[in-house]
Amino acid sequence: MISLRQTRLRTAIVIAATTAGVSVLVGVVWAFLAPAEHLLVVSEGRGVALTGESLHQFDASAVFIWLALIVGVLSAVAAWLARLSRGPYALGGLIVGSAAGAGLMALVGSGVTNLRFPTADNPAVGEIIARAPNIGTLLVLLFQPLAACVVTLVLAVLNPYDDLGVGDHPESGDPESGDPATEAEQADDEVQPKLP
């Protein structure tokens, strides 16, 4: 028989693997959305960015950040829907999957952009070439796990139950459940006389 701990551990592994897998697919999407920077070759091995093209370095990083935030938020909500595994196991799987996923998203995305915009061998002076976009800085890898953690924290804070809703909680007031709100409502009913 599978224990609750084993179930939670398996769910955490599924959460981590799914988050990383979705991140790989989003890395491919980023590779097609990120704009290339166009350079004018002014001498051998040297190019100058065309007017406005240097902004595409920021654009590529910004697109990556937005996609990472979307994946982080959606993966946190999806992990929260696994009600029986809410808690440290699910959060651990989510953090590991988001961190690994952000790295895989950058690697796969960079690989696809290098295929889309191959490096030109010995371009002629005056030729315009496209440089493959990149993520710019490794700090962008923090956005996906950070978004996942913040969304999970907000969902946990908004949850009315101490056990995060893992256990069975009756929707209607059942006196046998020991629900404090139900007991308080019953006490109010006893104190106030009912009108005929």
pLDDT in tens, 22-47: 999 999 999 999 988 877 887 776 67
What are 159's two structure tokens? 């949850």
Per-residue pLDDT band for 192 (boundaries 50, 70, 90) equals low
Mean pLDDT score, 89-104? 94
pLDDT exceeds cutoff 60 at 186: no
Cα distance between residue 79 and residue 123, in whole Å: 49
Answering whether pTM is above 0.95, one says no
39: which DSSP letter?
A: E
Distance between start and end Cα atoms, the chain: 56
134's CB contacts (< 8 A; 6+ apart) are: 57, 60, 110, 113
Average of per-residue pLDDT values in the chain: 82
